[in-house]
Amino acid sequence: MSGGLLALLDDVAAIAKVAAASLDDVATQASQAGAKAAGIVIDDAAVTPRYVVGFAADRELPIIGKIALGSLRNKLLILLPGALALATFAPWAITPLLMAGGLFLCFEGYEKLHGLFAGHGPAVASEGTLATPDPDPRAVEDAKVAGAIRTDMILSAEIMAITLASVPAQSFAMQAIVLALVGIGITVVVYGAVALIVKADDLGVLMARGHLAVTRALGRGLVKGMPGLLKLLGLVGTAAMLWVGGGIIVHGAAGLGWPAPEHALHGVAAQVAAFLGVADGFTAWLVSAIGTGILGIALGAVVALAMSAIRGSKH
């Protein structure tokens, strides 16, 4: 009897070890896939705060909550099943679709960069919001939330595609779990960060009214620094879009049988790192990121010119 119990306990321990290893594998796969989507995550966090500009302070968090729920629906109810169906029935289409998304990121990054140097930003209407004010505050809020969720759909699709491409050899169940974990985790991180960014100025005002001189100084600094932080986030998001978009194109081209651009980029990065002889790994990564960013700008410019020509031909 005792021998049977010990054997049962051994079996339970073995199953527990397998389960623990599986969970660790899932966590590892999810974290790696999330890291690859970091550029899009940064851009998502940089873009979303603009959707609450102009609303009363007590409506900011509810609006962010609505957008976050819409983002979860996009990822879990639409994109996750679509990604799994694609992986099951048309895995050959994953790389071309991923490259198409990368090209879109290059275009978006180029448009933002062009707007920055041309002295104007993207039109609000192009983000899916109302071009003119609506007298009904609820209608304005609903329109902005809907526009934000539509924009999120594009960014979320790219995140899920990158995640799926990171686990091509995994089982159907593993792919589903990793996609779900990445989708939920990134949504929490992005919209949690957005909530903190949006409410930071309110916290600064509250601190500026405090009794301690240090608290008041920190509060005033927070209020004055938030516009600069938002601009910095926008710049980082733009750079990340170009870097990630260009990298997706280069890596996808290699996967489709044209590895020359990727090999050339890695060769240049390795040579620069060896020449400098300082922090070789970081230097190689930085040179590679700059190279893919420059490629992203060039590809984005080509897409912008093509779209401009198409629009011109229709008029």
DSSP string, 221-238: HHHHHHHHHHHHHHHHHH
Which tokens go with 51? 């959707």
With contact defined as beta carbons under 8 Å apart, do 296 and 242 qualify? yes
3-state helix vs strand vs coil in the chain, percent to 5 = 90, 0, 10
Give residue 236's pLDDT. 79
Give residue 27's pLDDT. 52
Write the DSSP symbol of residue 37.
Answer: T
Give residue 9's pLDDT. 47
Alpha-carbon distance values, 121 to 116, 149, 234, 305 (Å): 6, 20, 11, 18
Strand blocks (E) in the chain: none
Give residue 2's pLDDT. 47
Give residue 225's pLDDT. 83
Give residue 85's pLDDT. 92
* Strand, helix or coil for residue 55: coil
Give residue 52's pLDDT. 67
Rounded Cα distance, 128 and 260, in Å: 39
Give residue 47's pLDDT. 61
Mean pLDDT by runs of 10 across the 315 residues of the chain is 49 45 49 54 63 72 90 92 90 86 87 79 43 64 83 79 76 85 86 83 80 82 80 79 87 89 90 82 87 94 90 73
- Cα-based torsion angle of the residue sequence 87, 92, 97, 102 in order, rounded to the nearest 10 degrees: 110
Give residue 127's pLDDT. 43
Question: Measuring CA to CA, which residue among 96, 44, 90, 91 is closest to residue 71?
Answer: 44
Give residue 227's pLDDT. 77
Rounded Cα distance, 240 and 46, in Å: 11
**Amino acid type, 282:** F
Residue appearing with tokens 């490259």: 99
pTM: 0.69
Residue appearing with tokens 């996009």: 74
Rounded Cα distance, 163 and 175, in Å: 9
Alpha-carbon distance values, 166 to 54, 80, 106 (Å): 39, 14, 20
Rounded Cα distance, 32 and 210, in Å: 43
Give residue 195's pLDDT. 85
